Chains A and B, each alone.
Chain A
């Protein structure tokens, strides 16, 4: 990726209001050419509205949208060189799979022989060869999703927009599709802008992520950046689980009452009699609940000082019986102070 090049998409102080509601509030973003960029946030945070503004289905009330340096703010969707994969796939029910995929080509009056050939190529790309004559109602959810993807990619857009396309699929299929989507993006080399509320999905596929909350962009960075250096307690809590410590306990552990967060996997669990080596943070509490998740176990610990902390430990040597017995036991939590993260702005 050439970081000095013109960004694929630039949002310049874009706002969209619905009456009193500020769905998108002065958002500025640069999305680079060829990157897999995710808009992440809870429901109602403005990420889908942002995507619709980029696609052209909605007009911003303020700000500009630039596609490869060109101002497309007032252009309708059929004039922009971006294509969208919709959440409900939006396949045309009265057309076959082949006709669906070729729709954009048909509109551009591409001759039939060339359409047929390119449809076959696309079906190979999304790993569904030979299904040109099926109808959408005959396909499974995963297959429909791939047809929607093929229909958008066949037009060779410079930017592809994906609006929570994997939401309707079951877990295994979703994880499989995440890997496939990433592979297709790398193979085709175009910019993907992906909207999701699933932080695990965002971390799996993205080069960079923008975290949205209440219409604003809270933080932009690579998945590792967001996870290891969250800039606010919202990001710390939304991207992965986080423990927030403040007040007197924070004072005791770090010397300052400022709020900080520590990730659950950085904390280790010991019997209360265990003596902590020097330099490590140490607190006492009682295990309130144990959640066995196969690969790892999540412990909800209520500290003697009143706070609740989450601790995650991998089940390398332990079995389910070992861990479930821990419920109600007094324990000591230990971790290295380098894992403490200051939150910065109060939120």
Chain B
């Protein structure tokens, strides 16, 4: 009854020897897999970051040459009212954009996670990801055209006889401006649009991880759907919101394309850095400007970790 065991194919003994060699040495496989990316990470990324940080401790003399001696004077230059304005402006915009994307993304992600049929879900995924396949710059400029005085938003407002309302909004201090395409309000709208996919996906992933039995248990114990949302769904989805907020916050902090396209002379951090590496040549100051958002994000990430945003990893 016992048949002879079927022999394994032995067509390429050298390759098999290599495979066995690697199989018995998992540490070697790990080293080979991680080596190149780690090398890139250390030399290129961390190295250039280090160079940047070191630059921020240098200074510029009166003739515009970089003085390579360590000093805190450049950081002192950050503390002028104009520069502090830049930081506050950028941070407030980042916070506002984060809040807006969270509020918009949650219903969308909730629908995707809980109600969409598999086919609908695939279509919605596509709808969320498709904009990311096109050029970021093109999208921002498209919005500039949409929001311009001659653009389609204005046309709709005019058709709906809401011109006065729009004028009132544009007349508001700080957020208003000559038109939607040159105002903080316009920037806010475009930021929210471009970063929305980065908020939808983490929230949707977090919501999908909530087991259905938890929601049934909540209902079984007497909670109406609104109470279940408040006590069970939202707390469990919150780490997804935090994860998404890391993207929206940090991307807004560093961006210069949107403020440049839809802004005026009130600089954001990105524009300030660009100007100091360009026309107003002051590399150490540019570096110092860059270090500030790094520190802000460091604090933010630590807080996010405390709140469990990385638990799923």
Q: Residues of A at under 8 Å CB distance from B?
A: 55-57, 76-78, 82-84, 86-88, 90, 92-94, 103-104, 106-108, 151-152, 155
Contact = CB atoms under 8 A, between A and B. Distances in A.
B222 A155 contact: yes
B227 A90 contact: no
Given A78-B222, A103-B221, A107-B227, A92 B216 contact: no
22 contacts: A56-B220, A57-B216, A57-B220, A78-B219, A78-B220, A84-B216, A84-B217, A84-B220, A86-B216, A86-B217, A88-B211, A90-B214, A90-B216, A90-B217, A94-B236, A103-B221, A104-B221, A107-B222, A108-B222, A152-B220, A152-B221, A155-B221
Contacts of B236: 93-94
A86 B219 CA distance: 13
Contacts of A86: 213, 216-217
Interface in B202-253: 211, 213-214, 216-224, 227, 231-232, 235-236
Contacts of A78: 219-224
Contacts of B227: 107
A77 B212 CA distance: 14
B235 A77 contact: no
Nearest to B213: A90
Contact of B216 (A77, A107, A108, A151): A77
A101 B52 CA distance: 54
A90 B212 CA distance: 9
Contacts of A104: 221-222
Of the four ranges (under 10, 10 to 19, 20 to 34, 35 or more), the interface on chain B belongs to 10 to 19
A92 B222 contact: no
Contacts, number: 58
A77 B213 contact: no
B172 to A, nearest CB: 40
B221 A107 contact: yes
Interface of B is mostly: helix
Nearest to A86: B213
- The listed residue with most A CB atoms (<10 A of its CB), out of B217, B222, B223, B227, is B217
A165 B93 CA distance: 51
A56 B223 CA distance: 13
B219 A77 contact: yes
Given A88-B211, A90-B213, A55 B231 contact: no
A56 B222 CA distance: 12
Contacts of A107: 221-223, 227, 231
A155 B222 CA distance: 9
Given A55-B220, A103-B221, A92 B211 contact: no
B220 to A, nearest CB: 5
A151 B235 contact: no
Nearest to B217: A90
Given A103-B221, A104-B221, A104-B222, 8 more contacts: A57-B219, A57-B220, A76-B219, A86-B213, A90-B213, A92-B214, A92-B217, A106-B231
Interface in B281-312: none
A76 B219 CA distance: 8
